[in-house]
């Protein structure tokens, strides 16, 4: 007999309820729909499961979205905070480095000062000596605050601002190449004192100064101090002063003057040199150092400070100006002297070397002079660092020298009308101000940075590759002018060479000619071409439309009464016109050495014409010796400088 099993209740089945319950009176859905009664619980369960699953998916998706957004915000916030922290770390590191650099600079400054005090008798004595031996300047109306320095606040600020302006310019216009330091070029002109005669060239005071101050400038301001010592023994202020770009370089930031021993107590040579320097050096308002402390010439510098043409000039003295304690220079008390005065009587070059004359400073005096200039620069560097540290916007506040585009000069103090060339020395008046004319120069003197005399020679030069110290044969002078040196210059150089040359780079070379040398032809280019470009374009050939005047100078050497006379023994032809003798004038006074005038002024006639090379105008010049009595033995005619003034 088949046994029937009772169906197993579904897992979702509800427990039995009371039959009398109203719920049991409800007809099951499956029955209403005619379906089998066993499938209802399974369908309900499935629907519930699906609903739960969908709800779970939605919840998970929603949680995922929230988590993603929060994560992104968290990451962004973390990165932002990280950037802020990184920036703060870098800023803090930069500040620490700046503080470290400032601290190191301060240490260097104090170290240099302490060494100066130790060398020259302690702080009080050394400071008093410095105040006597190096003078700075300021306007008399200046109300600048007092500072702990023997130098004027205005002068130090002028030099400090000069340094900062260089840094700003370097940042705005960085140079090409790998050199990241900022050059500051001081070029020294003058004669035997600045050259360092009697000592090694490297022992002259400009290089002493460089050795002291260059490391400080490099480490504290990234400025590289470059020194050019272009002094030449035995020359006057002029014609050197017309050729400053040739000797010192147009890129110089500062220049110097040292001709006091040859020019008495007057200020004519200094003022003319200064006016040419202010106008013909590319750097507007260059620094100026005068190796002299005579009252008349100090007044010239003060006058140009008052008028704003000079900002930070210095007047450098010798030991006779600075040292008042005579015991320090007493040879009998060698051991009692401060370090800087020991071995005071000794020359830097071996005993017997040329130039060991009483009027030349010995090695330790050059040391003293270099140290005095260095102390001024120490104070200037310190002020520059203070200006940078105290003013975050120091670059924006700089107004010097960017606001000055050209040299506007005051009326001259001295009178040079008697020279015959006042315009070339003092310039021309334009209302209440003066301006210097554009002047070009070619010279054979050394050292020569640019513009050698040979560059304007067209013909008439005898080529000779022999060492300049070796004597030239007479035959070389037949048919051409010869680049040579004078008898005294050759003898002096020969003596110096016995001591290895002593490092000197100066030499008074010159073109020499006699009657048999023939015609020397030159072509003087117009180097202010833009000002006359319209004339050239229109084909104007009148020379006076381009050129005002010419000057020719001979080498400065004493050769006796029968030597060449430039006024009478030379004949000139300019722009195709022969120059009559009454248009050739001696320049008096300012271009003079040992009472011998060495330059002549040759006027350009109205009939003279220009010629063109590469579409640019120039002036043809021919010269020849017309006196058959002129000889090498008595002194041939010579040309060492050619100067021409542009219209």
Least confident interval from 91-100, 133-142, 594-603, 618-627: 91-100
Q: pLDDT value at position 81?
A: 42
For residue 221, the Cα-to-chain-centroid distance in whole angstroms is: 14
Compute the mean pLDDT over every residue in the chain, rounded to the nearest whole number.
86
Q: 286 and 254 in contact (C-beta within 8 Å)?
A: yes
Q: How confident is the model at residue 534 (pLDDT cuts 50, 70, 90)?
A: low
Q: How confident is the model at residue 136 (pLDDT cuts 50, 70, 90)?
A: very high
Q: How sure is the predictor about 330, in pLDDT bands with cuts at 50, 70 and 90?
A: confident
Buried b / exposed e over 426-441, threshold 16 CB at 10 Å, is: bbeeeeeebebbbbbb
Confidence of residue 142 (pLDDT cuts 50, 70, 90): confident
What pLDDT is recorded for position 537? 62
Query: Confidence class of residue 44 from pLDDT cuts 50, 70 and 90?
Result: low
Residue that wins the pLDDT comparison between 325 and 196: 196
Q: Which residues pair with 481 in a beta bridge?
A: 461
| Cα-based distances in Å from 67 to 8, 63, 516, 520 | 46, 6, 105, 95
Which are the contacts of 183, defined by CB distance < 8 A and separation ≥ 6?
Answer: 223, 224, 226
Tokens describing residue 179: 């050199």
| pLDDT tens per residue, range 580-622 | 999 999 999 999 887 889 999 999 999 999 999 998 999 999 9
What pLDDT is stored for residue 19 in this prediction? 37
Query: What's the confidence (pLDDT) of residue 50?
Result: 65
Q: Is the pTM of this model over 0.85?
A: no
Give me the torsion for CA of 200, 202, 203, 209, rounded to 10°: 170
Q: How confident is the model at residue 145 (pLDDT cuts 50, 70, 90)?
A: low
């Amino acid at each position: 007999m088949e046994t029937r099993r009772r169906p197993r209740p579904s897992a979702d089945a509800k427990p039995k309820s009371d039959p009398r319950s109203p719920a049991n009176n409800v007809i099951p859905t499956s029955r209403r729909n005619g379906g089998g009664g066993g499938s209802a619980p399974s369908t309900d369960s499935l629907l519930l499961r699906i609903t739960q699953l969908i709800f779970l998916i939605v919840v998970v998706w929603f949680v995922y979205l929230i988590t993603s957004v929060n994560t992104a915000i968290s990451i962004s916030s973390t990165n932002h905070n990280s950037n802020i922290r990184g920036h703060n770390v870098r800023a803090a590191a930069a500040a620490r480095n700046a503080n470290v650099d400032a601290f190191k600079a301060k240490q260097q400054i104090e170290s240099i000062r302490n060494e100066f005090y130790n060398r020259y008798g302690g702080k009080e004595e050394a400071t008093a000596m410095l105040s006597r031996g190096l003078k700075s300047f300021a306007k008399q109306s200046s109300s600048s605050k007092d500072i702990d320095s023997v130098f004027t606040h205005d002068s130090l600020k002028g030099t400090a601002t000069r340094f900062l302006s260089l840094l700003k310019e370097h940042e705005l216009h960085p140079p090409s190449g790998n050199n990241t330091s900022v050059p500051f070029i001081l070029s020294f002109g003058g004669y035997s004192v600045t050259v360092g005669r009697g000592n090694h060239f490297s022992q002259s005071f400009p290089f002493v100064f460089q050795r002291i101050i260059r490391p400080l400038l490099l480490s504290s301001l990234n400025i590289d101090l470059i020194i050019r010592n272009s002094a030449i023994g035995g020359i006057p202020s002029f014609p050197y002063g017309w050729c400053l770009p040739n000797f010192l370089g147009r890129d110089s930031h500062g220049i110097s003057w040292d001709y006091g021993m040859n020019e008495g107590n007057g200020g004519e040579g200094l003022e003319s040199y200064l006016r040419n320097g202010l106008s013909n050096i590319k750097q507007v308002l260059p620094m100026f150092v005068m190796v002299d402390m005579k009252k008349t010439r100090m007044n010239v510098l003060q006058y140009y400070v008052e008028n704003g043409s000079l900002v930070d000039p210095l007047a450098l003295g010798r030991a006779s100006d600075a040292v008042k304690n005579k015991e320090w220079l007493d040879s009998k008390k060698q051991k009692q002297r401060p370090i800087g005065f020991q071995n005071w009587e000794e020359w830097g070059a071996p005993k017997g070397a040329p130039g060991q004359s009483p009027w030349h400073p010995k090695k330790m005096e050059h040391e003293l002079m270099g140290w005095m200039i260095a102390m001024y620069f120490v104070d200037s560097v310190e002020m520059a660092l203070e200006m940078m540290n105290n003013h975050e916007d120091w670059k924006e506040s700089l107004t010097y020298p960017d606001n000055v585009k050209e040299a506007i000069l005051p009326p001259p103090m001295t009178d040079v009308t008697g020279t015959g060339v006042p315009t070339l020395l003092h310039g021309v008046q334009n209302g209440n101000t003066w301006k210097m004319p554009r002047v070009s120069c070619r010279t054979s003197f050394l050292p020569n940075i640019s513009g050698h005399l040979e560059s304007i020679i067209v013909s008439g030069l005898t080529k000779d590759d022999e060492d300049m110290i070796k004597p030239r044969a007479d035959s070389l002078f037949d048919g051409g002018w010869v680049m040579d040196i004078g008898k005294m210059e050759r003898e002096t150089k020969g003596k110096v060479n016995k001591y290895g040359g002593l490092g000197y780079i100066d030499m008074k070379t010159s073109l020499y000619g006699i009657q048999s040398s023939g015609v020397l032809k030159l072509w003087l280019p117009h180097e202010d071409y833009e000002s006359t470009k319209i004339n050239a374009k229109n084909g104007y050939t009148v020379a006076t439309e381009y050129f005002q005047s010419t000057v020719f100078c001979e080498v400065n050497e004493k050769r006796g009464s029968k030597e060449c006379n430039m006024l009478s023994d030379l004949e000139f032809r300019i722009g195709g016109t022969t120059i009559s003798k009454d248009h050739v004038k001696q320049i008096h006074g300012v271009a003079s050495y040992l009472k011998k005038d060495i330059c002549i002024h040759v006027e350009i006639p109205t009939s003279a014409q220009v010629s063109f090379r590469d579409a640019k105008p120039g002036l043809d010049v021919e010269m020849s010796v017309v006196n058959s009595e002129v000889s090498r033995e008595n002194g041939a005619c010579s040309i060492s400088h050619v100067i021409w003034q542009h219209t």
